Amino acid sequence: MAAPFPSLLIRADEFVPEGAFARSQAEFLSPDPDLVADLGQLLEEKNAGVVAHFYMDPELQGVLTACPWPHIRISDSLLMADSAIAMATAGIQNIIVLGVDFMSENVRAILDAAGHRDVTVYRVAEGPIGCSLAEAATGDAYAAYIDEAAQTENALHVVYINTSLITKAQAHARVPTITCTSSNVVKTILQAATQIDDVEIFYGPDTYMGQNLEELFRSLAELDEEAVRAVHASHTPDTIRALLPRLHHFQQGVCIVHHMFGADVTRRVREDYPEAMVTAHLEVPGEMFALGMEASREGRGVVGSTSNILNFIGERVDAASAENGDGGEAEATRLSFVLGTEAGMITSIVRKVQGQLQAQRAAGGPVVEVEIIFPVASEAIAQTGDDELAVVPGVLAGEGCTVAGGCATCPFMKMNSLDATLDLLKRLGAGGRQSAEGDAELRSYHPKEYAELIDGKSAAELGGESILHMRHFQREGALSDELVGDVKTRCQGRPT
Ligand code: SF4
């Protein structure tokens, strides 16, 4: 058997990391109190809030989660914009987005739409903070995919939020487009099928997620009516079967991080961790997704978004406490989870789980401990910095652990550092108000503006429409009449 995957054991009052990678993650869970105090003081002084993604650098997340300033939120991309609106409504003047560029663009678009144009949004890098999926939707191949959709009757483009605002705008100009996230994509597609007769869904750009959605709907069609209605009340196995031939996905978009959870990793999880529960993000390759689906059917796993993963782990921890009665002398019950997504999730998992374990202990409940297993690709190599031996198999600790080094951390997300955040905050004007001069100096930290016109609207506004369609669906549980009407109108206008 190969060396075990790195893991982190979470107890009510301690963490036990196994392996260099896990040790480096655990180190950041107890941040330097001076750093925490500096961050809190600067945020307050500069009237600034922080919305950060779950995949942030663990060092940064460790400090953020320890900071008592109330305007700090770590979440999935969907909730980042909601948090920004809540902060703006509470009077926050500057919002720092810790994520990649499509996230800050999303936050900017939603703040604008909500009338908070006076709130300034900052990224913490001067240059672009990319994303391999967003990049995949910028080339000729995606343009050709959108062309195909534009020539198809009843086409609805369901675009993953991991794309730039200009991608969304250019697509929406050609095909009615709604943005989705991994937490709402299934319901978005099912809802579209109930409101738009013979809808043809063009999902993109994440190829693995497209394949996984197809597989998920295929499995759903095999379930009984009650199980299907539990997912969407207006659907039956027959309606799902009828939808399958009208689901299309783009073939050339991959998240370089989730790509690491391939056949080799999956085989090792199957063979070496048969008792562990499996969590798999919708972006993982098919093998890992199939394992997650299998585990989910057996009640010991979940496939979905980062929030779904976090909630699943939380529910299992509560269930273990309820099942095991009161405390006493019994041995600890260990729950093991394979983390099938970006490793930065660990900070949010630890904070949630440790809070639950402490509450259980205070209530005299059973002793539960939680093991999080990081399935690192065994083909991983790490750079040693040694001329004689430049690379070695496996991964090194901390920053050596990049995509090039083969483990599940996103190099783009890690462009957001604590130092860069503190530097930016120091450069903001007193009270968070910027002089015109100061604002000009920090221009490169703003999200891209996309002022060019497409069909008489700015690209930012047009791209923002697809996001607003998603938010309407989130709020109302139905697609907007405007979007549904747009599909029908464009269909009627299409030459036959
Ligand atoms: S993990 Fe990184 S590369 Fe993958 S989708 Fe997220 S931002 Fe893009």
Q: What digits encode the pLDDT tens for the residues 159-172?
A: 999 999 999 999 99
Q: In this predicted structure, what is the pLDDT of residue 70?
A: 97
Which helix or strand (DSSP H or E) is residue 18 part of?
strand 15-18
Residues 6+ apart with CB under 8 A from 156: 175, 176, 177, 178, 192, 196, 199, 200, 201, 202, 483, 487
Q: In this predicted structure, what is the pLDDT of residue 55?
A: 85
Name the residue of 255, 284, 341 whose CB sits within 8 Å of the most ligand 1 atoms, as the mutation to test its pocket: 255
- Which ligand 1 atom is the nearest neighbour of the CA of 411? 2
**Amino acid found at 365:** G
The more confident residue out of 496 and 441 is: 441
Q: List, for residues 253-266, the tens digit of each pLDDT value.
A: 988 888 878 888 89
Separation between Cα atoms, residue 308 and residue 324, nearest integer Å: 24
159-173, 232-246, 437-451: which has the minimum mean pLDDT? 437-451
266-280, 417-431, 432-446: which has the minimum mean pLDDT? 432-446
Residues above pLDDT 90, as percent of the chain: 66
Q: In this predicted structure, what is the pLDDT of residue 7?
A: 85
Nearest to 257 by CA among 267, 245, 265: 265
Radius of gyration of the chain from its Cα atoms, rounded to whole angstroms: 23
Highest mean pLDDT among 150-154, 349-353, 395-399: 150-154
Q: Walk across the sheet containing 7-10 and list its strands.
A: 15-18, 7-10, 368-373, 333-340, 277-281, 301-304
Distance 340 CA to ligand 1 centre (A): 14
Q: List, for residues 206-231, the tens digit of each pLDDT value.
A: 999 999 999 999 999 999 999 999 99
- Which ligand 1 atom is the nearest neighbour of the CA of 100? 7
Phi and psi (nearest 5°) for 457?
-120, 155
Distance 196 CA to ligand 1 centre (A): 31
Token code pair at residue 58: 């663990």
For ligand 1, atom 5, the nearest C-alpha belongs to: 255
Distance 112 CA to ligand 1 centre (A): 25
Nearest to 308 by CA among 283, 333, 273: 283
Q: In this predicted structure, what is the pLDDT of residue 327?
A: 57
Q: List, for residues 321-375, the tens digit of each pLDDT value.
A: 887 666 555 678 999 999 988 777 888 898 899 999 999 989 887 889 999 998 8
Q: In this predicted structure, what is the pLDDT of residue 390?
A: 44
3-state class (DSSP) for residue 119: coil
Find the mean pLDDT for residues 180-209: 96
For ligand 1, atom 4, the nearest C-alpha belongs to: 255
Residue 241 burial by CB count (10 A; 0-12/13-18/19+): exposed, middle or buried? middle
114-123, 225-234, 291-300, 450-459: which has the minimum mean pLDDT? 450-459
Q: In this predicted structure, what is the pLDDT of residue 131?
A: 92
The more confident residue out of 49 and 389 is: 49
Residues with CB under 6 A from ligand 1: 55, 100, 131-133, 162, 255-257, 342, 410, 412-413
The more confident residue out of 82 and 451 is: 82
- Going from the C-alpha of 424 to that of each of 114, 262, 416, 439, the distances in angstroms are 25, 38, 11, 12
Q: Considering the domain 31-129+412-445, what is its CATH architecture?
A: 3-Layer(aba) Sandwich (3.40)
Q: In this predicted structure, what is the pLDDT of residue 423?
A: 95
Find the mean pLDDT for residues 62-85: 94
- Going from the C-alpha of 17 to that of each of 20, 294, 374, the distances in angstroms are 8, 28, 11
**Amino acid found at 21:** F
Q: List, for residues 446-478, the tens digit of each pLDDT value.
A: 999 888 899 899 998 999 999 999 999 999 999
Name the residue of 256, 259, 281, 414 whose CB sits within 8 Å of the most ligand 1 atoms, as the mutation to test its pocket: 256
pTM: 0.87
Token code pair at residue 469: 């369609």
Q: In this predicted structure, what is the pLDDT of residue 259?
A: 83
Q: What is the mean pLDDT of the chain?
A: 88
Judge contact between 493 and 155, C-beta under 8 A: no
Judge contact between 189 and 234, C-beta under 8 A: no
Judge contact between 167 and 140, C-beta under 8 A: no
- The answer to whether the 1-30+257-409 and 31-129+412-445 domains have the same CATH topology is yes
Phi and psi (nearest 5°) for 41?
-65, -45
Distance 173 CA to ligand 1 centre (A): 26
Q: In this predicted structure, what is the pLDDT of residue 383?
A: 47
Q: In this predicted structure, what is the pLDDT of residue 400?
A: 33
Phi and psi (nearest 5°) for 197?
-60, 135
pLDDT for 121 beyond 80: yes
20: pLDDT confidence band, cut at 50, 70 and 90? low
Name the residue of 53, 56, 132 whose CB sits within 8 Å of the most ligand 1 atoms, as the mutation to test its pocket: 132
For ligand 1, atom 7, the nearest C-alpha belongs to: 131
60-69, 161-170, 193-202, 357-366: which has the minimum mean pLDDT? 357-366
The more confident residue out of 408 and 477 is: 477
Residues above pLDDT 70, as percent of the chain: 89
Q: In this predicted structure, what is the pLDDT of residue 117?
A: 95
Separation between Cα atoms, residue 211 and residue 279, nearest integer Å: 18
Distance 146 CA to ligand 1 centre (A): 22
Distance 258 CA to ligand 1 centre (A): 8
* Topology classification of domain 1-30+257-409: Rossmann fold (3.40.50)
The domain locations on the chain are 1-30+257-409, 31-129+412-445, 132-254+450-493
Name the residue of 54, 101, 133 whose CB sits within 8 Å of the most ligand 1 atoms, as the mutation to test its pocket: 133
Distance 249 CA to ligand 1 centre (A): 18
For ligand 1, atom 2, the nearest C-alpha belongs to: 410
Residues 6+ apart with CB under 8 A from 219: 293
Distance 131 CA to ligand 1 centre (A): 5
